[in-house]
Structure 1
């Protein structure tokens, strides 16, 4: 059986989906349920975790772009990749800086203005997870079999 580089893209998308679910929707919220972990410490751990994961996601999007050149994909499928890129960009360049300011205020015991930034982050993260999963499902090419 010959495995082509273009077949690596669906695998990358499925691994990425698992990482998003594990980091953003399991580990990150669960730390706030730990009874002996203070809010400032939980926020600091979350901040470090999500920023590190953001670096990993930039590496994954670069790999996805490179793998996408190995196969024939429709405009729709490239559009999906662009939408994932835009979601990641919004998080990195808009939401993370804004949420960092809020986190620093809470960790310093300062009052903060109520806003919907965390909700927006969650919506974008959910959108990104769905798009990455759909990418893994739809960008599947037939493997060629050599007899």
Structure 2
């Protein structure tokens, strides 16, 4: 793979990884522990934050995929890049869409039990982190 494209893809991969870890595994759980933050307030903040994160992730995914394709990456690197892009698409298109419908109901005042959908979202985040680490390491080895 061309070194310039590998550097670009690697840098964007690690920026993406940092954003996911910071928001999903630091900001999100801490937000609900802050004084005065109710579930509806936390959900409202979360919707804004994750909508913005997912938009940035889509841009980073496009840049990473374009760099990997333009740089003539190995099948392994290309496979990792495609896997993380597909995972993001399913996470946003299916899991987050379901969570948004549920949060609409909560924000409308409906009392609902704890959501298992969030566990699915967390599982996707863990898988995404693992894929981004693997992709970033593979790109460093180029």
Q: TM-score, normalised by structure 2?
A: 0.90
User: 1: distance between equivalents of 2:122 and 2:102?
Assistant: 16
Rate the CA distance shift 1:84–1:44 in 2: closer, same or farther, 3 A. Answer: same
**1:28-107 maps to which residues of 2 (within 5 A)?**
28-107=28-107
- Structure 1 gap ranges (5+): 143-147
User: 2: distance between equivalents of 1:4 and 1:101?
Assistant: 42
- 1:72 offset after TM fit, Å? 3.2
Deviations 1:2-31 (A, max 9, x none): x72331111111111111001111111110
Q: TM-score, normalised by structure 1?
A: 0.87
Higher helix share: 2
CA RMSD of aligned residues (A): 1.7
Whether the aligned pair in 2 keeps the contact of 1:91 and 1:121 (CA below 8 Å) is: yes
- Structure 2 gap ranges (5+): none
Q: Whose relative contact order is higher, 1 or 2, with alpha carbons under 8 Å and at least 6 apart?
A: 1
